[in-house]
């Protein structure tokens, strides 16, 4: 049966359909604006952990109320299925954009500033995002960037090849995340380091089909030399990426803001002055 309305919202089209839920573009007739609605799949409603994901995402983002985080407007139930109503980000995701073009260095610096502000605000409330990646960086109609999808923040469960449950996207998961060790905001800093590597080189530092081998690489494999991956990338970036992606959290940047500061200083040239 085709869904035409959810609550008061008029469904215009389905945007995405995944294992966890369906995402719709809808129209709010009360205030004449487009919104995005995430609806949990019916079969997932049978498991309390997934219902809790939705509930906690709505609660956490409402509590954060940060200008760099995609805002949630509403939360409700479509029969037995919970749904979240969010701001419509008409510019698509960073992952979408990277399929078409590279970002300029000044754009990278601006992106890191905003995403870092969002993450540091979350970390100040002891909220770990756990799934920092380009598909969760969304652009609005003016081209401004926002962080989205806190749905697995602070949760405890993606399966590896052996059937072990993990949280997050394996290509962007920190060593402590894949090992199930205690985590703090520095796990998100590690993921930001991978995003930076991807933006500078066009590649992920570890690209392996096997999930088990991929998560093992995060724990054991040294970070590739960024200059050798793409020789026109200045070698100075290796120091920044290496610090962000240090295997030991104590060797990483203490905050996303510190990483964003160094990214901005390399881009502006202030990094070299600081090193003199």
Between CA 151 and CA 135 the distance in angstroms is 14
Closest to 38 measured CA to CA, from 2, 88, 91: 88
Closest to 130 measured CA to CA, from 163, 164, 94, 166: 166
Respond yes or no: is residue 262 known to be catalytic.
Answer: no
- Which member of 28, 120, 131, 262 is catalytic? 131
Between CA 211 and CA 131 the distance in angstroms is 16
Three-state DSSP class for 51?
A: helix
Between CA 215 and CA 202 the distance in angstroms is 20
Q: What is the CA radius of gyration of the chain?
A: 19
Known catalytic residues are 131
């Amino acid at each position: 049966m085709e869904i035409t309305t959810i609550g008061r919202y008029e469904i215009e089209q389905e945007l995405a359909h995944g294992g966890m839920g369906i995402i719709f573009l809808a129209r709010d007739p009360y205030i004449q604006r487009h919104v995005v609605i995430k609806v949990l799949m019916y079969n997932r409603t049978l498991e309390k952990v997934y219902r809790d994901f939705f509930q906690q995402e709505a609660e956490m983002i409402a509590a954060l109320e940060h200008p760099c985080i995609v805002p949630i407007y509403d939360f409700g139930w479509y029969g037995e299925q919970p749904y979240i109503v969010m701001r419509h980000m008409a510019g698509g995701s960073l992952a979408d954009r990277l399929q078409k073009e590279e970002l300029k260095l000044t754009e990278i610096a601006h992106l890191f500033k905003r995403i870092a502000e969002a993450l540091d605000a979350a970390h100040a409330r002891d909220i770990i995002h756990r799934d920092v990646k380009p598909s969760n960086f969304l652009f609005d109609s003016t081209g401004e960037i926002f962080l989205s999808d806190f749905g697995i923040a602070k949760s405890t469960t993606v399966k590896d090849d052996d059937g072990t449950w993990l949280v997050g996207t394996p290509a962007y998961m920190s060593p402590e995340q894949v090992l199930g060790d205690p985590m703090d905001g520095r796990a998100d800093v590690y993921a930001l380091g991978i995003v930076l590597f991807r933006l500078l080189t066009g590649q992920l530092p570890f690209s392996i089909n096997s999930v088990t081998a991929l998560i093992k690489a995060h724990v054991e494999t040294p970070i590739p030399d960024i200059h050798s991956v793409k020789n026109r990338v200045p070698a100075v970036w290796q120091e920044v990426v290496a610090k962000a992606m240090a295997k030991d959290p104590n060797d990483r940047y203490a905050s996303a803001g510190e990483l964003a500061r160094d990214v901005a200083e390399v881009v502006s040239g202030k990094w070299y002055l600081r090193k003199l």
